[in-house]
Amino acid sequence: MSRVRRRAALVVAALAAALSPARPAAAEDPSRPLVGITFDRYYDGAALESALKTIHASFPLFTRLESMGASREGRPLWVISVFDPSGPRAIDDRPAMYIDGNTHGNEVQCTEVALFTVKYLLERKDADPWIGALLKRVTFHVAPCVNPDARERFLHQPNDEHSPRRVLRPVDDDRDGRVDEDGPDDVDGDGDILTMRIADPNGDLVDDERDARLMRPAKPGEKGRWRILGAEGTDEDGDGRVNEDGPGGVDPNRNFPCEWRPDAVQGGGGPYPLSEPETRATALWVLAHPRIAAVQSYHNAGRMILRPPAARTDREADFPAEDKRLYDELASRGQLLLPGYRYMQIREELYQVWGGFVEWTAHALGVPSFTNELWGLFGWGTSVVGGDLEALRWNDVALHGAGFVRWKKVKHPTYGEVELGGWRRYTIRSTPVDFLPDLCVRNCLFTLEHASAVPDLDVRVVEQAPAGGARRVRVVVENRSMMPTATAWARRHGLVPPDLVGLDGAAVLAAVEVPGPGQPGVPLPVKEGRARLVDGVGGASSRTLDLWVDAASKPTAVVVSSRLGGLLRVAVP
Amino acid sequence: MPTRPRSVLPSILLVASLLAGVGGTIPAVVAEDAPPPKAPEPPPKAPEPPPKAPEPPAMETPPPAMGETPPAMDEPPAMDAPPAMAEPPAMETPPAMAEPPAMAPDAAAMDAPPPAMAEAPAMAEPPPPPPADAGPVSPTGRPGLPLRYRTPDEVKAALDAIAARPAWGARKARVERYGTSAGGRPLWVLRIGPDAAPQVLVHGGLGARDAAGTVAAIAFADATLPDVTPAEGGAAPPPPDDRVGWLVIPAPNPDALAAFLEGKPRLGGPDVDRDQDGRAGEDGPDDLDGDGEVVSMRRRAPDGPFVADDAPPKDGKALGDPRAMKEAGTDARRAASFTRPVEEGKDDDGDGDVNEDPPGTDLARNLMGVWEEMGAWPGDGPFPGSAPEAKALLDLSWDTPALVGWYAFTSEGARLERASERGNDADADDALYGRLAGPWREAAGGVELRKASERPGASENRGSDLDWAARHLGVPALRVPVWRIAKEAGSARDRHDPDEVDWLLWNDRVLGGKGFVPWHEVAHPQLGTVEVGGWKRFTRWEPPADLLPEAVRRVMRVPSVHAAFAPRLAVRVEVTARGAGLASLKVRVDNVGGAATDTVRAERAARATPVRLDFAPAEGVEVLAGPRSVGLGTLPAGGVSAPTEWLVRRAGPGPLGVATATHRVAGVATAEGRLP
């Protein structure tokens, strides 16, 4: 019932915020210090650093800004924590949500969505009571870009929608003893890496009658006209092949220590888990923040809300039905906010990922985790052969044709005359800037919904009764939120320690779980003077315990310590 | 479905076992690796006379010993022994005390002649007897570095001394830093050239007590690049025929080495919160009785799973020893039973568990081995390579593309052990191991070879360095333990390798019984009365200082075997004149080395690279047809590639061009074609 009411409150608050007349967007307005952080642009490393520092300087009591470490080329891996210090618990005693983006260098809009979330939380915490309350209860850790080297190249160097994707460990892709010596090149100097084709009477392609920008395979008996030479580029190493050894070689989202597999099984896994400075720094930082109870890792593209397992089917993993229901419920709320987004199990409905980040957070750390695949109106392909007519139509209407470069003749050092054409960046995978604000707010709201589901523990003493030399203290531990303090997966694999219930001023000598009426009590394990709830506290449920202490002791507070639920101390009345 | 245990306890026990000998590794527990003798007994014999003049290999030049912890590494309780030493034809003389072979230059030879020293000179005059801890003598008669336990600083000094020696042929050495330990110590590798050759990595142990492995790795480097400065009037020895270079890392875990030699054994690497209580490394072993030794601890318990292994003697020979323990099983005659022995220690953090979270990370379980289960990392630490020492070793080896072999000198073990990954392609390189087995055994003085997984009591290790090398780098990997004993004549137990009873008999015979702390009652702060007992340092799990030199000499040359198992390329060019200045060249590439250019595992690990053949025409030569570069795949040992053909044109006789074969491991070979 309270959930329904809070849902209604959310809708009202969101409407109110959306409909309220805009305040003047003046940079000098001291009441809106973040007004200059806009989402009609992409932030490169320097701009992101500047924006984060502005945020921290504007809200020094509500944020912490630090670097998780450095990328291979030495760029900082920023993480900003957002919280309301006036909440009842210490900041690091609260459950937390971790959000990151741009794991793949070409998936740039993830950074803006993450940055938007920081701004949104800070700007709306006073106007929107639901957000205000959330920020007092849950700490947000936001790492807008965890692959800054590749991002910088995507933003500032010739590239296409798909490159550069990986982190920049030099890898000898073509195994010729030289590393990264033959990547794509901007042959015509227009700033884009396009597709290269050559006229060839023996070619396998002909012009597509539906749209001259596309080609289609020649039919049997039909004379060919074109042959695709691959991405725009030259044969830098003179081995007769073009672009066969481009920059970078380890896929950071295949490099995490859970269900990891080497390159021989899946390209991009890297030498060993967390072999890369970016992934290792991220993992060590996450491990050092054990209160993280929810994770969102943004990617593009394809408009999806993805849940683990990523390496195995639910059946292979024996994925717990209880956990699936939790993901289903959160995803269904996400779909309200993100129309057109499909909710998918990664392995079953997308593809198999070994060593993915959310596999690690969900299945090695026990933290419910999603990956949103942002944008991508027409899937994530940008082929110039066959389909994508819809994409071209959209390009003509929304971008006025600017997203697709029509075929043009160019002199190539090896091939002679070739033609270049195809999709540019910021079209089908990365969001055109005009569409960023809408993308940001919708995904941001989904992560806030996810964050609001982390365990919300309360504890109270309901009865104290002397019993000879002992005293019985009856407490009720309640989890008012959707997520359990330990998912079924975490319980099965022993990923999180038991929740501990103790008393300040009195060691618990014995503890009994008080079940429903007519049921016998169940003794609970006690260690170091605290009762241990090995299975944690389920979502939207409570557990009633009798804690037995020495009658002479004077309990002053009841203390609940939960890895994912946080630390809670409530005075004994 | 193998999954991470719900409780962290099993993994804690696993870790504790490395230090304490819990479970399969209790020093005083005998694993049942062989049935008791069933064959007809030999005729009764009088007990063996004590060996002549039991010159107690005194522990008076003791290593800086204070305490002892039970075994490092995942060594089993049961000792297996090399067959060459294990089955002496006659049992009259205990093999360990056999007369030194007459020709053995070293009076300290224990029970086997030292392996042939390939580079030892034929000396005209017998030199003065070398000191007992003399290191390998150079071909020009110069002494090597003494064979003694060394602290990390002393290891560095030894490496510097070797690196300062003059080059010998292509062999020259340099010391490089490849990382930093958790405790801030530099990690050093000695690279012994040639650099442009297949590389073999040789490291000391990663465990908490692998100090003897460190000594062996230094001795190997010492013997590989000896000081060949000629004696006065003498001649320099001919340069060796070098086919491989070496990366020698005597102390990959310097924090543990230092702690062990200081008498406070502990794992290296950063502390780990194994019991998930928010504190890392807060509950390790303790010296309860203040005797300076951390040994084992047990409690009497009516239904305990262990009993004393005290079978009465048979025909005057020991079938058991009251100090040893064994699993009680259903033994009906159990008089007293005990809890599972654990490492001596108390509950430092007051959580009710003892030694559940010892300081450090077990580096021997922190590399990336074979891990295919769901859930969290089952090795030690939060993830593979979490310890900086482990990561540094992973990175150094991964970034050595020409790696062709991996050797790990460790302290103790009855046999050589090869990598033993699981999975359906685990034995893919059995043929190569089969060819290596003989030379390995010979170089180790007859010690047998087994898979690491075949060791009695071996527990699964997802983070083994051997599996990292074999599975991910695709190179054959071998563990070479330094310390072992022969089977004792006084034991009637029919085991292939020496077991705990042999060790206890050896302790009594050689150490005068001083190596084993007898079980004795101690008041435990939390557990009431417990019994404490077990092996001191420098006894069971690493050699006493005076037995160290001979133990090292026996195995220190094992890695040098690998020089004959590296691939090497040669190019053959066949020129046919076609007239009118036209000529065709047929080029073949031979692998004239002792191993394929890549192993089967390297191919499956996608680390293999094809042999590449390029042709560069000479000046004035026009190439009419033929590839710029061609991949020839993997060439087996003795294999020849299919021919690659070029058609060229040249006015008049002279050079046509150079064909160059290249491979990541096998290096470069060239040949020129000429028009006659």
Please write the tens of the pLDDT for every residue from B648-664. 999 888 999 999 999 99
Nearest in space to B117 (alpha carbons), one of B131, B132, B106: B106
- Mean pLDDT score of chain B, rounded to an integer? 83
Predicted confidence (pLDDT) at residue A14 exceeds the cutoff of 90: no
Q: Is the dihedral of CA A254, A255, A258, A264 positive or negative?
A: positive
The token duo for A502 is 């103790």
Separation CA A117–CA A393 (nearest Å): 32
Q: Which of A558-572, B329-343, B582-596, B629-643 has the lowest mean pLDDT?
A: B329-343
Instruction: Report the distance separating Cα A403 and Cα A432, nearest Å.
Output: 9
Compare all CA atoms of chain B with the CA of A492 and give the residue at the minimum distance. B6
For residue A419, pLDDT beyond 80: yes
- Mean pLDDT for B579-597 is 96
| B21 Cβ contact partners less than 8 Å away, ≥ 6 residues apart | B27, B28, B29, B70, B71, B77, B296, B341, B343, B534
- Residue B22: pLDDT band (50, 70, 90) is very low
> What pLDDT was estimated at residue A24?
43
- The tokens describing B546, both together, are 């005076």
Strand locations in A359-452 (E):
369-374, 377-380, 404-412, 416-423
Which carries the bigger pLDDT value, residue A170 or residue A5? Answer: A170
Residue A391 in this model has a pLDDT that exceeds 90: no
Assign A517 a pLDDT band (cuts: 50, 70, 90). Answer: confident
Q: Does B332 touch chain A (CB under 8 A)?
A: no
Distance (Å, whole) CA B506 – CA B510: 6
Angle, alpha carbons B539-B540-B545 (nearest 5°): 35
Query: Is the pLDDT at B6 greater than 50, yes or no?
Result: no
Query: Do B1 and A318 count as a contact with CB atoms less than 8 A apart?
Result: yes
| Residue environment code for A9-36, b if the CB has 16+ CB neighbours within 10 A, otherwise e | ebeebbeeeeeeeeeeeeeeeeeebbbe
Residue B124 has a pLDDT of 56
Q: Is the pLDDT of residue A144 over 60?
A: yes
Contact A493 B662 (CB under 8 A): no
CA distances from A46 to A39, A78, B377, B535 (A): 16, 12, 37, 61
**What is residue A340's three-state secondary structure?**
coil
When pLDDT is averaged across residues A308-314 and rounded to a whole number, the result is 98
Residue with tokens 């040994």: B295
Q: Look at residue B336 and tell me whether its pLDDT is greater than 90.
A: no
Closest by CA to B560, choosing from B220, B214, B315, is B220
pLDDT grade for A29, boundaries at 50, 70 and 90: confident
Integer-rounded Cα radius of gyration of chain A: 27
Beta bridge partners of A417: A411
A174-181 mean pLDDT = 84
Alpha carbons A132 and A117: distance in angstroms, whole number: 14
Does residue B574 contact residue B635 with C-beta atoms inside 8 Å? no
d(C-alpha B269, C-alpha A111), whole Å: 35
Q: What is the CA radius of gyration of chain B?
A: 28
Indicate the residue of A177, A238, A275 with minimum beta-carbon distance to B664. Answer: A177
Cα B179 to chain centroid, rounded: 21
Confidence of residue B120 (pLDDT cuts 50, 70, 90): very low
How deeply is B279 buried, as exposed, middle or buried, from its count of CB atoms within 10 A (0-12, 13-18, 19+)?
Answer: middle
Residue B280, chain A, CB below 8 Å: the answer is no
Chain B residue with minimum CA distance to A256? B383
What is residue A378's predicted lDDT score, i.e. its pLDDT?
Answer: 59
Question: Which of A450, A426, A437, A308 shows the shortest CA–CA distance to A376?
Answer: A426
CA dist list (Å): B554 to A459, B80, B110, B113, B478: 67, 17, 10, 8, 16
Contact list, A283 vs chain B (CB under 8 Å): 383
Torsion from C-alpha of A124, A128, A133, A134, nearest 10 degrees? -60
Q: What is the mean pLDDT of residues B502-524?
A: 97
**B612 in reach of chain A (CB within 8 A):** yes
Structure tokens at A374: 């942002």
Percentage of residues in chain B with pLDDT exceeding 90? 69
The mean pLDDT value for B535-544 works out to 96
- B360-388 residue pLDDT tens: 999 999 999 999 999 999 999 999 999 99
CB-based contact (8 Å) between B270 and chain A? no
Tell me: cis bond preceding B129? Omega within 30 of 0 counts: no
What is the tens place of the pLDDT at every residue in A457-491? 999 999 999 999 999 999 999 999 999 999 999 99
Phi, psi of B114 (to 5 degrees): -65, 150
Asked which of A57-71, A91-105, A263-277, B324-338 is least confident by mean pLDDT, the reply is: B324-338
Please judge whether A563 and B371 are an interchain contact, meaning their C-beta atoms are less than 8 angstroms apart. Answer: no
Element (H, E) at A136: helix A129-137
Q: Write the residue in B275, B394, B606 that is nearest to A263 by C-beta.
A: B606
| pLDDT range class, residue B127, cuts 50, 70, 90 | low
CB contact under 8 A, A491 and B384: no
* B422 pLDDT tier (thresholds 50, 70, 90): low
Predicted local distance difference test score (pLDDT) of residue A389: 83
Chain A residues whose CB is inside 8 A of the B627 CB are: 240
For residue A528, the chain B residues in CB contact (below 8 A) are 350-352
Lowest mean pLDDT among A6-15, A557-566, B291-300, B557-566: A6-15
pTM, entire model: 0.87
* Tokens at A73, concatenated: 């080329």
Q: What is the mean pLDDT of residues B617-646?
A: 96
Instruction: Inform me whether the pLDDT recorded for B107 exceeds 50.
Output: no
Q: Tell me the β-bridge partners of A278.
A: none
Task: Provide the b/e sequence for B472-489 (b: ≥16 CB within 10 Å).
Answer: bbbbbbbbbbbbbbbbbb
Amino acid type, B220: F
**Minimal Cα distance from B613: which residue of A?**
A176
pLDDT (tens digit, 9 = 90+) per residue, B443-501?
999 999 999 888 887 788 899 999 999 999 999 999 999 999 999 999 999 888 999 99
Q: Which two tokens stand for residue A146?
A: 């965890």
Span A47-64, mean pLDDT? 98
Sort residue B132 into left (φ over 0), alpha (ψ -120 to 50) or beta.
alpha
pLDDT at B129: 76
Residue A404 confidence (pLDDT) above 80: yes
Contact B6 A287 (CB under 8 A): no
- Dihedral (C-alpha) B392, B394, B398, B404: value to the nearest 10 degrees? 110
Looking at chain B, the whole-number percentage of residues with pLDDT higher than 70 is: 79
- 3-class secondary-structure state, position A420: strand
Query: Is pLDDT at B121 greater than 70 in this prediction?
Result: no
pLDDT band at B310, cuts 50/70/90?
Answer: confident
State mean pLDDT over A124-137. Answer: 97
pLDDT above 70 covers a percentage of chain A that reads 94
pLDDT score, position B86: 33
Confidence category of residue B93, pLDDT binned at 50, 70, 90: very low
Q: What is the pLDDT of residues B609-621, one digit of tens each?
A: 999 999 999 999 9
Beta-carbon contacts of residue A407 (< 8 Å; ≥ 6 apart)? A197, A213, A419, A420, A421
Neighbours of B321 (CB within 10 A): 26
Lowest mean pLDDT among A383-397, B153-167, B200-214, B597-611: A383-397
**What pLDDT is attached to residue B523?**
96
Q: Residue A28: its pLDDT value, please?
A: 59
User: Please, which residues have CB within 8 angstroms of residue B125's CB and are 6 or more apart in sequence?
Assistant: none
Which residue do the tokens 């394990």 mark? Answer: A525
Residue-wise pLDDT for B174-194, tens only, equals 999 999 999 999 999 999 989
Q: Tell me the pLDDT band of A516, cut-offs 50, 70 and 90.
A: confident
CB contact under 8 A, B368 and A177: no
C-beta separation of A352 from A253 below 8 A: no
Q: Are B213 and B204 in contact (CB under 8 A)?
A: yes
- Point out the residue among A175, A273, A493 whose CB comes nearest to the CB of B6: A493
Instruction: Tell me which H or E stretch contains A331.
Output: helix A321-337
Confidence at residue A241, expressed as pLDDT on a 0 to 100 scale: 83
What is the mean predicted confidence (pLDDT) over A228-234?
Answer: 94
Q: In this structure, are residues A453 and A564 in contact, taking their beta carbons and an 8 Å threshold? A: no
How close, in Å, is residue B372 to chain A by CA atoms?
Answer: 6
